[in-house]
């Protein structure tokens, strides 16, 4: 029997895409024979994941997990919405979100963490699910927020079950105020974030490259008016204020009443609680955003298959 080295396990894993523990078991079952192990994994359906890894996965679920003064969120993608309704997949997404909470949102650490009640890591469990369910899947991203005092609140828009859905939000409120009132407001604020899609909490937090690019566009637009430079500068300043009102959370109009600025609403809560309230951060995940989805003419595909 050939020695089952780490290098041999790695080679089998690269050839098949199967999990590390599955590769080690395959080599053990086949006395270290690499090709026989490949066949063994194929027979068990564990090598199928490699063939599926190139397919676009833009569906799936966003999961949230909150505990103590911290919260985490994870997006796990699949190829079809049908898989998102699979209870096994839903359980996996929730477990990934829980592990993200336990590990400060560090994706590399989570992928290498042991999956509960399985002799596999999270990454290996994902490979196992791909082979079992029959679709490509990916843990796309995760994030965590925490406060020293106050609350972290989560919101899932139109949840399919529990804390799982297609749009998820976390918001962190730093305050010594009443926890119940902070949580109630935090949920409203999270709903606002889901609807208004801000890019930052304040102007200072906004990516300065984004700000400068927007300013340059507005300058060029204003110069086309043919007006003097001092007037152009005033025009640009006014349009930049409107830009901030669109993308900065505290400058946005509160969706609950359609009139107040979010900054004013936060200040009102602080006055009611008799202590400072600060929005220290937020995160907003929309399932599949930024992923280029495959598109095609289904009728043409059928016609081509028909010859």
Which CA distances in Å does 125 have to 17, 95, 109? 12, 11, 14
CA distance 307 to 296: 18
Q: Which residues lie below 8 Å from residue 194, measured CB to CB, with a gap of 6+?
A: 155, 157, 167, 169, 284
Q: Give the least confident one: 128-142, 144-158, 251-265.
A: 128-142
Please, what are the domains in the chain?
6-52 (1.10.8.10), 59-200+278-286 (3.30.479.20)
Among all chains, which residue has been given the structure tokens 């078991």?
25
Among all chains, which residue has been given the structure tokens 């939000």?
169
Instruction: Using the CB atoms, write b or e for 177-195: b if 16+ within 10 Å.
Output: beeeebeebbbbbbbbbbe
CA distance 167 to 185: 19
Residue range 288-306: mean pLDDT, rounded = 56
Residue range 114-140: mean pLDDT, rounded = 91
Among all chains, which residue has been given the structure tokens 């024979």?
33
Decide: 90 and 160 in contact? Cβ < 8 Å. yes
Please tell me the predicted confidence (pLDDT) of residue 298. Answer: 43
Q: What are phi and psi of 149, to 5 degrees?
A: -145, 145
CA distance 71 to 60: 20
pLDDT tier, 38 (very low <50, low <70, confident <90, very high otherwise): confident
In this model, does residue 228 exceed pLDDT 80?
A: no
pLDDT tier, 50 (very low <50, low <70, confident <90, very high otherwise): low
Q: Is the pTM of this model over 0.85?
A: no
Please tell me the predicted confidence (pLDDT) of residue 111. Answer: 95
In this model, does residue 13 exceed pLDDT 60?
A: yes
In this model, does residue 162 exceed pLDDT 90?
A: no
For residue 143, the number of C-alpha atoms closer than 13 Å in the C-beta half-sphere is 15
pLDDT tier, 214 (very low <50, low <70, confident <90, very high otherwise): confident
């Amino acid at each position: 029997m050939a020695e089952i080295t780490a290098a041999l396990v790695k080679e089998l894993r690269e050839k098949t895409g199967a999990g590390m523990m599955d590769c080690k078991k395959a080599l053990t079952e086949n006395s270290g024979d690499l090709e026989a192990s490949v066949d063994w994994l194929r027979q068990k359906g564990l090598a199928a994941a490699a063939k599926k890894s190139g397919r676009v996965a833009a569906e799936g679920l966003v999961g949230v997990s909150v505990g103590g003064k911290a919260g985490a969120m994870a997006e796990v993608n699949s190829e079809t919405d049908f898989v998102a309704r699979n209870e096994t997949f839903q359980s996996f997404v929730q477990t990934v979100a829980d592990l993200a909470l336990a590990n400060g949102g560090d994706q590399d650490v989570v992928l290498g963490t042991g999956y509960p009640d399985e002799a596999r890591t999270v990454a290996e469990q994902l490979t196992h699910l791909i082979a079992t369910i029959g679709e490509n899947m990916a843990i796309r991203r995760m994030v965590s927020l925490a406060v020293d005092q106050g609350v972290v609140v989560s919101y899932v828009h139109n949840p399919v079950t529990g804390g799982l859905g297609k749009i998820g939000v976390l918001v962190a409120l730093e305050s010594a105020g009443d926890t119940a009132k902070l949580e109630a407001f935090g949920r409203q604020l999270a709903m606002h974030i889901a609807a208004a899609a801000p890019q930052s909490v304040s102007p200072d937090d906004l990516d300065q490259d984004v700000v400068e690019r927007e300013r340059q566009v507005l300058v060029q637009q204003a110069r086309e008016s043919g007006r003097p430079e001092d007037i152009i500068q005033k025009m640009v300043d006014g349009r930049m204020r409107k830009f901030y009102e669109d993308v900065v959370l505290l400058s946005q109009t509160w969706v609950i009443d359609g009139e107040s600025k979010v900054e004013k609403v936060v200040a009102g809560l602080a006055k009611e609680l008799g202590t400072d309230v600060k929005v220290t951060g937020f995160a907003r995940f929309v399932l599949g955003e930024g992923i280029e989805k495959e598109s095609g003419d289904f009728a043409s595909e059928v016609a081509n298959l028909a010859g």
